[in-house]
Each structure stands twice: as C-alpha cells, then as structure tokens.
Amino acid sequence: MSELQGGLAGSLLRVDLTYGTIRREPTPEALYVRRLGGRGVGASLLFDELAPSTDPLGPANKLIFLTGALTGTLAPGANKMCVTFRSPLSETYSFSLCGGHLAPELKFAGYDGIVIEGRAEQPVYLWVDRGHAELRAAGHLWGKFTHETEDAIRAELRDRAVRVAVIGPAGEKGVRFACIQADAHREFGRGGPGAVMGVKNLKAIAVRGTGEVPVADGATLARLVEQAYALLAQHPKARLRRACGTPEMVEATNRLGYWATRNFSGGWFEEAERLSGPRLRETLYVGDRSCYGCPVACGKLSPVTLGRLVGSTIEGPEFETLGLLGANCGVGEPAAIVAATALCDAYGMDTMSAGATVSMAMEAYERGLLAPGDLGGVELRFGSDEALLAAIEAIGERRGLGDLLAEGARRAAEQLGAPDLAMHVKGMELATYEPRGVVGMGLTYAISPKGAHHMIAPTMAAETAGEPSRRLRADGKAALVAETQSIMALVDSLGLCASMRFVLDPHTMLEMHAAVTGRLLTEADALRIGENILQLERLFNVRDGFRRSADTLPRRLLAEPMPSGPSAGNTVPLETMLGEYYALMGWDSDGVPGLDRMRALGLEAEWAAAIRGQTG
C-alpha cells in the first residue's frame, strides 16, 4: 500500500525539447514522503539529475515545475508552484515560487509536476490538455509581450479558462533576471528562470485540467479549513494585507530605518509616506485580486497612467517592487513605479533585480562612470522617473546600456570597473530590507542558497518586535535564521503561500497535510524535513564549488556605517553571526556540511557526491 493516501495527482510529465519527446512517469512518491513536495522535491530532483557545474544557459539545465500535496484541495492559499533550476544570475541552485491558478490547474490536469529538459530548435510551447500533451510551434508568439502571448494562446486554444505560464522578450533575449509569468501578473520571479526557458526556446506552458486530487479525509480537511478561514478573517496581519496588500510593510520598514534607499546608501526614504499601504489604498488601488483558494486577496490592482503601457492595469506593485523600483532608485512617485512594474511584467523580468540593477547604474552615473549618451540622452539620476522607465525598457530590449544591465548588477558593475556598487550576494541582488537596520536579514542574504533572497528566512518581524535595539545586534540571530528557514522550507514544500504562515502555525499546516495525505507529521518531524531540504540545497552549491567566501555581503554593508536615519552608525556583524550559524547547521569553518550531521539526516550519499563533485 502506498504511503500517501491523497494529495498526489500521480504523474509527472517529462519533456525533452531537444528530441521533442514527452513522457508521462509516476510521481516519485518516496520523495514526497521524504521532502513533502514543491521546493523539497525540486531540490531532490535537481541534485540527482543535474551534473555539477551545469551551464545555466546551456541545454543541460532543467526547469523542474512541482506542486505540493495541499494544492488542488480545499486548503487555503495552497496555490504555489515551484520551479527549480540552476540560476543564470547567481549560478547557484535556485527555485522560485508562483501563485495564481497555475498550480491547481496542473493537478486537475493529472500532474504533480513538469520537468523540462534540452533545447528546442525552433520556438515552441507546451500544451498540456489532461491526458494529452504536445509541443506546438511558437514562432508567431516569439517577441510578444507576456500578456499578449497569454491572450494569443488562449485564443488559439479556444478556451479562456486555460492557464498559461509565459516568458516575454526579456526571457527570449536572455536577460539574466527574466521571470516566468503566469496568470498575467503572478511570477516565478527571482533568479532568472525566464532566461532558462528562453534559451530552451520554450515560449509558454498552457494547461487545462478537469480532474481532481484525492484527499484521505475530506471531512476533517473541511473542518480544518473552516477554522483557518475564521483565523484568516480576524488576524490583524491578514486584515492589513487584505486592505493594503504587501505595501502594508512600507511604513514600519521605513520608520525603523531599514528600507533600502538609493542603492543601499541609506535605510530611510524621505518620500515613503507617498508609498505607504494606506496611502496607496486611498490614491492608487482600483480593485483587489486573490490567488486560487485564498480568502486574503492581498493582490491590488493599479492603473498605469504613465509611459508606454498607459491605459493598462497591473496587479501590484508589491512591497519589494515599491522598494527596489521606488525607494532604492530614489523614486517616490507611485505612477512611475506602476509604469515601471508594467514594463517589467510585459517584458517578463523580475522587478526586484531590475530595480536593484537600475539603482546600481544610477549610482554609477552619479559617480561619473556613465554618461547621458549611454541611455539615449537621459540623465540616469536617482529620483528620475524618466530614467527609471528608460532604463527598464532598454533592459527589456537589451538595447545600448540595457544590454549591459541585462546581465544583472554584479556583472554590470564589474564591467563598469566598480564591483562594489553592486548590492548582491552570489550575483543575486538584495531584497529591500537594508541589513544594517535589521542584521539578521544580512545573515539570511549571506547564507541563502539562491543568492540574496529575503524569503529564505524572513526574520524582520521577529527582529523588530520587542526591545528596539535588538534588530541592530548579532545575538540570537543565527538561531532565528536557522529556525525561520526550516519553517519556510516547510511552507514552500507544502505549496502554501508564505502569507499563510502569519496566521496558520506549523501544527495547523501539518494537520491539513495529514487530512490530505493520511500521514501525520509532528512539528519536530516537519522541521527536520525542513532542515533536510536546506542541507541538500547547501550540498548542491558545495558540489558546484561554493564555500564560505561566497557567503558574504557587499562591502558597503559590512564596512560603512549606516549614514543616517534610525539605524545610523550600524554595520552588519556578519562574521559573528555566520560562525554561530555554521555551528548550528553542523558546517565546518569553510561552510561545508559535516558528515555526522548529514548521516543523522540521511544525507550521507548526497554529502559524498557533493564532496567528490559528482551527481547524486
């Protein structure tokens, strides 16, 4: 008898673009038992199937799309699909999560995931129609914006309800932070999965499903979900998200002085009031959107009133987007940020890396490393709406300076001869939390397996609660990061939206997982699975040569005290935190996991492969 009595659709699709073959294979249930789904199972498959140091932009890289066991059931907010791949931006292991409606649709179509391999000779798209899957010519779609592509595919397939994940021109042109867009405004955003899809000549994946996911104990799940709805309706954080979306965080982040401003030259933005959640609610938003099965509706609709896409509507801008296209570029005009977001969405690129890269270029311009002629006569100054929009469009087209910036902040800054201007870790640009004002986030950025990404261990809420100076000090941060990242690995692998964790504790998530799969995990079991996933991710990077020297932060954050604002004078005490963190994780002083700990987690084979530099 199988170990899981529900939660799986039962099959994976394996698509080899080089040979144009599509195979259906049984979902590896043992991996779902071991690492739950989504991110965890993706890490397993990528570790096992990718040769060490695989070229991220070569045909051997893979895109492994996976769902979680809760997806396609009543469980709230269980709509995340994970794509796992080696990143062309950071050259590390990477994954990215996307909400919307794509993940449940894939399960209703009868699949838990899709593995994309190889490279097609001509542009194609994958059409998954329940029991039937085929590659279709996409030459006529090449060059189209993301939304145009979605519309064209739905028209071609004569079904509005088809769910489509697409790349835009940025992915086609290999912009290293190109995203994959699904449901118009939901993204697999970070790390450049769109560029991987682009070199594979895969323009889109379209899915239609009419089936269902088996559930072990539907009545218990229904009862748990009704309780979860009641909690979600009352919880202050969920209510804030419902009213203002993720920009509800702007006010506190800025007030406490950890909102990255002008390429991380400070942590307090003088125009933040214009971008606060309540202000946007009053002056910008025209509607609310939900992902599948989520009662929070944190998605906010904003009209585009400036630039090339004027007259359209976006879902967003999200908090990180406001930070990196806004404060970090010195731009406080909401209409400009919305217009820049619309361009990023249309070209199909990550708003975070795009904003961080443009802000690097703005600083380079102000230091005389770039001239107006580099951007068609536009002065690339901090705070210039015009410069922001011109730079984003140039990146999407890979035109002029945009061709350089499309390589990401690290590579572009190196080319400009000023590597210290790039605010990145392992090539991925930092999120909008200025770590000099919330130092645990500095540790998160440094140890994140995919480069500087905040959601690996978002510790800011815990760091800023209680005693005010705590956020500026190292003590307790290593343990906080270690614990938070295990919870995130759990949430991501279950296929739940990260917002659910504010309201649903791990115990509740595991009760739902038990109702769906018939397998009851204790919290300790689950956190151990979380750690197992983290360690495997680390081993992937160790196998590819990453060591302690890569677990660092930009010089500015380590050596230059925060110049002003509520966190003035602080730097990130990274070495102290890193040493403690390595000890907690059982890693040696060079950041390599130790055999004893790996053996205890059942990872000795992967450890040996990593040390020898071989596939698992």
Partner 1 sequence: MAHKVLAIYASRCTGCRICEQWCAYQHHGAVSPAHARITVQQLHLRSAPIACNQCRRAPCIAACPSGAISRDPMSGGLQLDAEACVGCRLCLEACPRACIKMDAEVGVPLLCDLCGGEPQCARHCPEGAILCLELDLVDRAYRDDLVAGKEVL
Residue 315 CB, shortest distance to partner 1, in Å, is 6
Binding site for partner 1 (CB under 8 A): 72-74, 76, 101, 108, 147, 160-161, 184-185, 210-215, 218, 222, 229, 233, 287-295, 297, 299, 301, 313, 315
Measured from the CB of residue 73, what is the shortest distance to partner 1 in angstroms?
6
In the bound complex, what is the minimum distance in angstroms from residue 147's beta carbon to partner 1? 8
Give whichever of 504 and 603 is closer to partner 1, judged by the CB atom: 504
- Which residue, 108 or 264, has its beta carbon nearer to partner 1? 108
Shortest reach from residue 437's CB to partner 1, in Å: 34
C-alpha closest to that of 27 among 57, 61, 93, 71: 71
Pairwise CA distance, residues 314 & 321, whole Å: 12
Is the Cβ–Cβ distance between 563 and 266 less than 8 Å?
yes
- Mention every residue, 6+ apart, whose C-beta is less than 8 A from residue 373: none
Instruction: Establish whether the linkage from the previous residue to 317 is cis, with ω within 30° of 0.
Output: yes
- 399-410 in b/e form (b: 16+ CB < 10 A) is ebbbebbbbbbb
**How far from 413 is each of 330, 405, 445, 552, CA to CA, in Å?**
19, 9, 19, 17
Q: To the nearest whole angstrom, how small is the minimum distance from the Cβ of residue 292 to partner 1?
A: 6
Residue partners of 128: CB distance under 8 A and separation at least 6 = 13, 106, 109, 111, 114, 205, 206, 207, 208
Shortest separation between residue 272's beta carbon and partner 1, angstroms? 27
Residue (208 or 543) nearer to partner 1, CB: 208
Cβ pair 472, 439 in contact under 8 A: yes
How many Cβ atoms from other residues are within 10 Å of residue 559's Cβ?
11
Q: 291 or 598: whose CB is closer to partner 1?
A: 291
Query: Alpha-carbon dihedral of residues 593, 597, 602, 603, nearest 10 degrees?
Result: 10
Residue closer to partner 1, measured from CB, 5 or 290:
290
d(CA 65, CA 95): 9
Task: Look up residue 379 and give its amino acid.
Answer: E
Q: Which is nearer to partner 1, 144 or 426 (CB)?
A: 144
CB 345, min distance to partner 1, A: 12
Residue placing its CB nearer to partner 1 in the complex, 310 or 559: 310
- Residue 297 CB, nearest distance to partner 1 (Å)? 4
Of 573, 321, 535, nearest in space to 442 by CA: 573
In the bound state with partner 1, the residue whose beta carbon lies nearer, of 290 and 305, is 290
